[in-house]
Structure 1
């Protein structure tokens, strides 16, 4: 650690601080109030300068000023590929002929009048929730782990665990073993998905928070593209290599990413929370061009915000459900769980949805690949929309249009079964899956990254993702039952169900989701503490001098 007792340092220790035994960086900030020995006014002027500088930056200027912040956000977001890859992999495996021939059970197809094979409904659902069960464990581990050792080392730990767990999946020869392998793989996924939005939102300046966190949705789409391409290539092969090769390809990611994360800077916000101010300034310098920014002023801005949330206790999950933090936790949780209640599972099970809509296997895999490619393009378009139109605006309009399309899907699935109606259902499924990534999905990641208090961020994002998995598990069973020919066999009529749940989420968001576009973390803290109604945020001014 750098010696912050250096007299040349802007964070030089005072004799009083040294007397408290914390002259080497105030390593336990939760036991020591950063402002007891140094009055807020000592660094408030620098904090205001840094905040004004971020306000006055345009998006392109912010990219030029913080080029490495964008790069490291890109690397952290890349970790999401692994969860996306495996979620879509299991969704595609239930439609992959070689996998079905190996693990399927006989059933009579009333549409064709022939007997075929299908993965039993209970195992189809179990395999798709196994990873989520593991991730549910992982997100609860991520918060305390990250709060203690930081984003970098928590992520590296997850990557190394994933390397080991892939071996179990690769050599599995029965559905129960595959279930266990997926559950174990899910644990590091939970760490990645809890840390990524928090880390990305903390290392970039205000103007880049939207595109940095929305990259997570882009990498989710990239994971599905890789899966779509691989399974499309092997769907005609009837040997075990058709599913063994896609499993083995998972080893492409963890080791290179672990090396890169080792080289990455820790979040300066996390370092400030720990009182390691010199290291925080060094991290800021690594994230941006030193000629364009003042690390000391940026750290002062962070100190000012951390001071608003000061506490003498180690962050814990109980705090998420007290005072204004309860409202913030509920926003994160509800935005996360809404992803599963607004038709997102149609995208996750796209290939299987297409096959059950009467489309041939080859065309179903091709449509799945096309869907994933379009999703990536639309996520990039959403960067522009969310940056300039706002999070709430995009989320509400996107959700409303999504509900309308889901009802149309239900109508298309209710008419007589013909080639035209099958194509209509498949087309609407594709459109819903793609447009979801233009509005609600990418906006969700920005909201998740911005809403929580800095001090509780690792715990809040973990809790939010836990809510996602808790609602996703029954939704997967429901979705599989609705689509499976041995279950509800609803095909496009599932649009009615997801349209109804999506409408409830839309109404809740209208009343309770605030607009955080252009707000610093200090302003967000203050507006929550003032209990400003969600629809009044855009009309409420927070003075640059205000601390409460």
Structure 2
């Protein structure tokens, strides 16, 4: 039996693939190729990387675009609770406020999808380790097409909530796999920009929702909300075709011992030069072997052992912190504008403006990731929003008039803009870079689970802060979110390392040496070091 056949048998029949990689670190020729491959990535500029790897950029963006479906649904629910026809159909009449969706149902609409996604992210890791990023995502897209039917034909809030929960399961697949896949298929200079496009997918979803709900806001029948729900079907099938055509991550293929397929994948992603693609393959083999010596087949328990525990904590904290620095104001922007005293039609218009500005901020984040470090962007972005959130709270605390209403709305838009241009997109970059290659599929899933654990109660709190049937605080919620953002800033200052310009081998070594977070940037790792 040939070596290739043995590898195929091992791939099909065992969780732990034992291929001749144990000899990798003792193979001088391969190590020299790996060193050349790593030096090539370090020497490559951003624009050079784009020119030599255009297909990698395309496939990374395509995978990241799957997040548009979670974004679409999250913002759709935020607009439904502010839509007159939806309020009359499913709401209650509150004296002085008119028709409104009760707080418990608002929370349920927002939380149900996240509960489903919480299940999905835990399923995503083991499934991805078994069948790969592509087929796991394709499975999620098929499920997405099926579950949209439940929400579209729902005739009660109960059924709508059930539909949202079932839609959430494939969301979990997408959000767990997209940052991991994007970070693995592009060269080092493009990791920041390509993983940051996840936030752009969120903005695209919000723009489509804002435009659709603005267009149907004046309708007084069921199609005011059913047509926007039906628009979800425009995404899964085209994406399914594109993902089917995309190459599998070469890192995943190497972990499974499928080196020939990994080499073809590298060539499809941009490594047309035989020498360059061979060097890249050797670099990946070297890193995979270093990590394999730390443990066998990856399991969820491995995330909480040794230095991987620290990496898991950082991933979970960064993901969870997205809920504590003003992001939930953006998710409920239309309702926030109405509670701040803006008329219904103008609130929907402002929401569309807000979504478009977020898209602009996302584009700006590409340049920020090229110019500044991950830690720098996160800390300064969070500090800026802390200041703006407290100003929002002060603005809502003084005697109110038309000017203060618009000031609150403008501050809400600026807070969303800062989030979408800094700590939002850079969080995905940090998450993708922090985990080890061996545990990445599991780590991004557990990290996103931490996001949902934080988000689900925070959604209830956000609804309670704004709803007339709750605390009805409007812009005073800035005090609450400003306070939580302060906690996030201090945690990041002490625990968040700088990983810009670091290959996955260097990142492994830095964590294994148990260096303090603030020393990561200044520590020099020789290209020949394995530990």
Superposed, 1:335-414 pairs within 5 Å as 335-414=318-397
Distance of 2:217 and 2:374 partners within structure 1: 39
Matched residue, 2:66: 79
Q: Is the 8 A contact 2:136 2:173 kept in 1?
A: yes
Matched residue, 1:47: 34
Matched residue, 2:110: 128
C-alpha change, 1:410 and 1:23, in structure 2 (3 Å) is closer
Q: Gapped runs of 5+ residues in structure 2? A: none
Secondary structure (helix, strand or coil) at the match of 1:336 reads helix
Identify the match of residue 7 of structure 2 among 17, 22, 26.
Answer: 22
Matched residue, 1:427: 410
Secondary structure (helix, strand or coil) at the match of 1:341 reads coil
Q: Please tell me whether residue 218 in structure 1 is matched to residue 205 in structure 2.
A: no
Identify the match of residue 316 of structure 2 among 333, 352, 372.
Answer: 333
Q: Deviations over 1:59-108 (max 9, x none)?
A: 01001111100010111011010000000000000001111111011111
Superposed, 1:433-472 pairs within 5 Å as 433-472=416-455
Q: TM-score, normalised to structure 1's length?
A: 0.94
Matched residue, 1:180: 162
Matched residue, 1:35: 21
Matched residue, 1:238: 220
Q: CA RMSD in A?
A: 1.5
Secondary structure (helix, strand or coil) at the match of 2:253 reads helix
Q: Please tell me whether residue 119 in structure 1 is matched to residue 104 in structure 2.
A: no
Distance of 2:20 and 2:80 partners within structure 1: 53
Matched residue, 1:70: 57
Q: Is the 8 A contact 2:466 2:473 kept in 1?
A: yes
Q: Deviations over 1:384-407 (max 9, x none)?
A: 111221111111011011101100
Q: Is the 8 A contact 2:150 2:163 kept in 1?
A: yes
Distance of 1:380 and 1:343 partners within structure 2: 20
CA displacement at 1:30 relative to structure 2: 2.4
Alignment length (residue pairs): 528
Stretch of structure 1 that moved more, 31-40 or 237-246 = 31-40
Matched residue, 2:139: 157
Q: Is the 8 A contact 2:19 2:257 kept in 1?
A: no
Stretch of structure 1 that moved more, 293-302 or 260-269 = 293-302
Q: Is the 8 A contact 2:196 2:366 kept in 1?
A: yes
Q: Please tell me whether residue 92 in structure 1 is matched to residue 79 in structure 2.
A: yes
Distance of 2:89 and 2:453 partners within structure 1: 30
CA displacement at 1:37 relative to structure 2: 4.6
Distance of 1:273 and 1:526 partners within structure 2: 19
Q: Is the 8 A contact 1:25 1:276 kept in 2?
A: no
Q: Deviations over 1:264-322 (max 9, x none)?
A: 00000000100100000000000005148622211110011011110563211111111
Q: Gapped runs of 5+ residues in structure 1? A: 6-12, 110-114
Stretch of structure 1 that moved more, 489-498 or 415-424 = 415-424
CA displacement at 1:453 relative to structure 2: 0.4
Q: Is the 8 A contact 1:482 1:490 kept in 2?
A: yes
Q: Which has the higher helix share?
A: 2
Secondary structure (helix, strand or coil) at the match of 1:117 reads strand
Secondary structure (helix, strand or coil) at the match of 1:294 reads helix
Distance of 2:332 and 2:292 partners within structure 1: 44
Q: Is the 8 A contact 1:65 1:292 kept in 2?
A: no
CA displacement at 1:379 relative to structure 2: 0.9
Matched residue, 1:60: 47
Secondary structure (helix, strand or coil) at the match of 2:321 reads helix
Distance of 2:7 and 2:474 partners within structure 1: 63
Identify the match of residue 517 of structure 1 among 481, 500, 508.
Answer: 500
Q: Deviations over 1:124-181 (max 9, x none)?
A: 1111100000000000000000010000000000000010000010000000000000
Distance of 1:274 and 1:413 partners within structure 2: 56
Secondary structure (helix, strand or coil) at the match of 1:531 reads coil
Stretch of structure 1 that moved more, 291-300 or 137-146 = 291-300
Matched residue, 1:416: 399
Distance of 1:108 and 1:277 partners within structure 2: 68
Q: Deviations over 1:97-124 (max 9, x none)?
A: 1111110111112xxxxx6110011001
